[in-house]
Structure 1
Amino acid sequence: MIDTAPRSSRVLLLPGWQDSGPTHWQSRWESLHGHRRVEQDDWLWPRRGDWMARLDEVLLQAPERALLVAHSLGCQLVAAWASHSRHTVRVQAALLVAPPDTERDDMPPNLFNWRPIARRRLPFTSLMVTSSDDPYCEHDRALQMAADWGSELVSIGPRGHINGDSGLHEWPQGQALLQQLAARSD
């Protein structure tokens, strides 16, 4: 069988609900490292199918494989997309940061269409980064998602939702995790 997977990689940033603001580490990585943000049409009322179609579209625009760097709802996007797409070979690996538990009773109605959480094992290497005090996901739920997705799990202690309010700035530790993930999945 001929391997048709692209060889080199690029980094695609997958923000969560309401996008990543200017103080978010994803925005800083975009400026500092030239990573590409996957823009969605609707950041306020995100529709899972629309977001999945957009990710497919962006992945098909270039011949290189991608390293996906997802935050929050972007993690749920990766899981849902990988469960349905025929283009998963275009992904080298995924860094999944602070996945929310969209099945919680207190989730806003904007996120109801992200239920149920996709539970299929990801067909590429993945690393999940969690915080011990994430207000959107209890630790045991994060552990279950990591197990379901086949993701290695790294907890960085009490850092909230690992976003702009977490004081991470450029988050060099996250960049190091991304480089390690890229090396492991090459």
Structure 2
Amino acid sequence: MSLTAPPTVVIVPGLRDHVPDHWQTILADKIANARTVPPLTDDRLSCDAQVAALEGVLSDISGPVVLAAHSAGVMTTVHWARRHRRPVEGALLAAPPDFDTPLPEGYPTQDALHANGWTPVPRTPLPFPSIVAASTNDPLADFARVAGLARVWGSRLVDLGPVGHLNPAAGYGEWPRAEELIRELVRASSDMTA
């Protein structure tokens, strides 16, 4: 029997994800022990500022943590993991964008991403278990390229099928699969420490 507290689920939104009908917002409202990285008002496009915001939330948590990241929040998470060594039970990395290829109009350019520290994208194994949940028709990333990221990060790849960018514009709202994948990470972590 384990006497450890359940992990705190830290929600790591992308650059546009602080909206009420996003699955991460709904998830944060459903889970009693959830914390969300707050939106930045300054330096919003800065990778360093986003990583610092994640570290700020994590530094206030004393127990186990599971990360639930979406879009640019995935990139924040992998950059954070390269710079910090706080123990993490696992990470759900949903719909990572491909910052190494041009994004659609209306998104940051390659030059802006590079100038703000997002590229090059870290390509080393993550120091914690992770699941990359990828869409086959994400406008921000080709599935094969995301599969390649999952491979170099040491993540289990989950093919979600054609779910767009897994956001309200693609019809997500509530995404119950997130809870299932988070439970899987928690179980795997419990099995490793048992």
How far does the alpha carbon of each residue in 1:93-121 deviate from its partner, in whole angstroms, 9 at most, with x for none? 00000000111123523533211111111
Q: Rate the CA distance shift 1:72–1:157 in 2: closer, same or farther, 3 A.
A: same
Cα deviation for residue 52 of structure 1 reads: 1.3
Aligned residues with identical type, % of pairs:
35
Matches within 5 A, 1:27-176: 27-34=25-32, 35-42=34-41, 45-87=44-86, 89=87, 91-106=88-103, 108-109=108-109, 110-112=112-114, 113=116, 114-176=118-180
In the alignment, structure 2 segments of 5+ residues that lack a partner are none
Pick closer, same or farther for the CA change 1:160–1:44 going to 2, 3 Å.
Answer: farther
Greater CA drift, 8-17 or 67-76: 8-17
Moved more, 134-143 or 110-119: 110-119
Change (3 A) 1:7 1:32: closer
Tell me the distance in 1 between the aligned counterparts of 2:55 and 2:43: 20
The residue identity in structure 2 corresponding to 1:178 is I
| CA distance in 1 between partners of 2:84 and 2:48 (Å) | 11
CA distance 1:125–1:41, change in 2 (3 Å):
same
Question: TM-score with structure 2 length normalisation?
Answer: 0.85
Q: Give the TM-score taking structure 1 as reference length.
A: 0.88
User: 2 CA distance for matches of 1:155 and 1:164?
Assistant: 19
Q: How many matched pairs?
A: 179
Q: Which moved more, 1:141-150 or 1:39-48?
A: 39-48
RMSD: 1.9
Q: Which residue type is aligned with residue 77 of structure 2? A: V
